Structure 1
Amino acid sequence: MNTAPAFYPIGTPETPWGEAERAEWLSRQSRQRSYEAEVLSAIEGLRPRFDVEEYGRLEYGSESFPLLAIRSRDWRDDLPVVLVTGGVHGYETSGVHGALQFVDQHAADYAGRVNLLVAPCVSPWGYERIHRWNPLAVDPNRSFREDSPAEESAALMRLVAPVRDRVLLHIDLHETTDTDETEFRPALAERDGKPFAPGGIPDGFYLVDDSENPQPEFQQAVIAAVEKVTHIAPADDNGEIIGSPVVARGVIEYPLKQLGLCASITSAPYKTTTEVYPDSPRATPEQCNTAQAVAVCAAIDYALAHQ
């Protein structure tokens, strides 16, 4: 898909937003679904089998969002830690529900083998608004650094800090959607006062490896497992996916730490960011959720076999 608007309706082209533009943007955002009904209720249903903790609370105006994490009930200090995160971009639905599906259907398979720490919905305000940013027009997934401007990111880093050097694997569950091109990239360009360069959206699943510590065999093991559930995104005519060179089938690389991405918050030897394409005519929401859960299982299986 390559269709994009000619302009974004807020601000002056090539002039960064000020407070007035951010306020106008915020006024246009509306609640479209319920974090409590769709996410918190699912987490509550897991309490009989797992430990659930509130690791923070977001206060935005009159709204309050508890941030919940799910832990293995049989946590042991001698076991490696597996970190699963979803909903860093709240609008990326299968990241949230794929993480919950993994816990519900597969987490028990790893009891006594790893300590699981799952934060299924890092950005609940974005989940409800179906948006990439938080209400300050800040992208949490570019904010995982000291003095983070996003409380969503800061809260997760505080949660992970006690175990960050014991994490064997961190898998961060994302989506690439058509609205990336029609809404979020134009908004980003306008917010930052930069020209918008139209691009394309890859049709299929792909992974983002860490260019500072690439693990190609690990990434390919995840791709091979997910391919049984949904199709893998091909490279475009330039040999790229979303502007980055394809280094192996279905895999690109980013400098995770430099960009402040969620997958950079631990010293795990195995890190990956999943990207599902929910707008594909070849994929259903159920397939997208299952692809995320399968990716988590494949990642854990590989990490345990190669630790």
Structure 2
Amino acid sequence: MNTYPIGTPGQPWGEAERAAWLARQRRQRSYQADVLSVIERLGSRSDVQPYGELSYGDEHFPLMAIRNHWRNSLPVVLVTGGVHGYETSGVHGALQFVEQHGEHYAGRVNLLVAPCVSPWAYERIHRWNANAVDPNRSFRENSPAHESAALMQLVAPVRDRVLLHIDLHETTDTDESEFRPALAARDGQSFEPCGIPDGFYLVDDSEHPQPEFQQAVIAAVEKVTHIAPADESNEIIGSPVVARGVIEYPLTQLGLCAGITPARYKTTTEVYPDSPRATPEQCNAAQVTAVCAAIDYALAHR
């Protein structure tokens, strides 16, 4: 039985329910202080590219990407974070990657990093945008999410040159306590718990899998934090485990961020920040390690 406090069980939300949900959301941190200020600092050694602005009521959020100094002969590496704003290490991991390792890849790849795709949700520590839409199911033509549409427009001119796209995410306890119940309520469905895996895992593209690539990333990250085990059904969050720490989704079919290019190498990272065995610093480091391992593998196996 759906017990979410908004809506009537079995009935999808209408405008009144969405408004009631929006009224419950509170700003809890600052995109300006946490993200834009860091991007501004990184601008002294990288190219900062505005790619749009989100407007929700009287709030406005500039959308910013970071590029290194590009050469047309080099492949493009796309790094995205904060598609789900509440997934903190995705945002800070992307920023730390640029700060700590961006210059290492100068002259080797063209980096395009969008560290916080969903700034309104970052400030609310939420999965959805202000319209109760999940950006990470909205990367498709005529997207209902401005966040997704803006990123696709940014990537469009180089879409066919992307060698690697790594999308940085987290799976948290609030997925089970808040976000999945809210999703079920919004869509008029019953909530079915499926558990939260303790550890890091990856999501490969079932339509174009690259198992050796995924395992190279897992091997690198394992030196930083633990890898999520399969459950008793040999699954992680309801999907079959195809290799240690790896599940697969049809990325483009589901409208997921990691499916927006025809890149040979694609992956979605999933860090578990609520684990008693991991600190926020470890979670950020796991994301950074995953990005570096992914780029190194892609360059070695072009």
Does residue 26 of structure 2 align to residue 30 of structure 1? yes
Partner of 2:7: 11
Equivalences for residues 3-82 of structure 1 within 5 A: 7-72=3-68, 74-82=69-77
1:253 — aligned with what? 248
State the partner residue of 1:280: 275
Matched with 2:218 is: 223
Cα deviation, 1:50-73, whole Å, max 9, x if unaligned, reads: 00011010010000000000001x
Structure-1 separation of matches of 2:41 and 2:19: 37
- In 1, Cα distance between equivalents of 2:128 and 2:231: 27
The CA distance in 2 between the partners of 1:159 and 1:181, in whole Å, is 32
Q: Deviations over 1:246-286 (max 9, x none)?
A: 00000000000110000011110000000000000000000
Question: What letter matches 2:174 in structure 1?
Answer: T
Conserved? CA contact 2:2–2:184, under 8 Å: no
Distance 1:280 1:241 in 2: 15
**Cα drift, residue 6 of structure 1:** 6.4
The residue matched to 1:69 in structure 2 has which SS? strand
Percent identity between the two aligned chains: 82
* Offset from partner CA, 1:91-116 (integer Å, 9 cap, x none): 00000000000000011111100000
CA distance in 1: counterparts of 2:290 and 2:25, whole angstroms: 32
1:185 aligned to which of 173, 176, 180 = 180
Residue of 199, 202, 209 corresponding to 1:207: 202
Secondary structure in 1 aligned to 2:91? helix
| Superposed counterparts of 1:92-171, under 5 Å | 92-171=87-166
| Equivalent in the alignment of 2:235 | 240
Determine the C-alpha separation between the residues in 2 that align with 1:152 and 1:112.
30
- 1:19-38 deviation per Cα after TM superposition (whole angstroms, max 9, x unaligned): 00000000000000000000
1:7 deviation in Å?
1.1
* 1:263 equivalent in structure 2: 258
Residue 118 of structure 1 deviates from its aligned partner by: 0.1
Task: Identify unmatched segments of 5+ residues in structure 1.
Answer: none
- Counterpart of 1:213, as a letter, is H
Contact 2:25/2:124 (<8 A) preserved? yes
Code of the residue aligned with 2:250 in structure 1: it is P
TM-score scaled by structure 1? 0.98
Question: How many Å separate the matches in 1 of 2:44 and 2:101?
Answer: 15
Q: Which runs of 5+ in 2 are unaligned?
A: none
Aligned to 2:296: 301
Give the Å deviation of 1:198. 1.2
Shift of 1:200: 0.3
**What CA deviation, in whole Å up to 9, does each residue of 1:150-178 have, x standing for no partner?**
00000000000000000000000000000
Q: What is the TM-score when the length of structure 2 is the normalising length?
A: 0.99
Q: Offset of 1:199 from its aligned partner?
A: 1.5
2:289 is the counterpart of 1:289: no
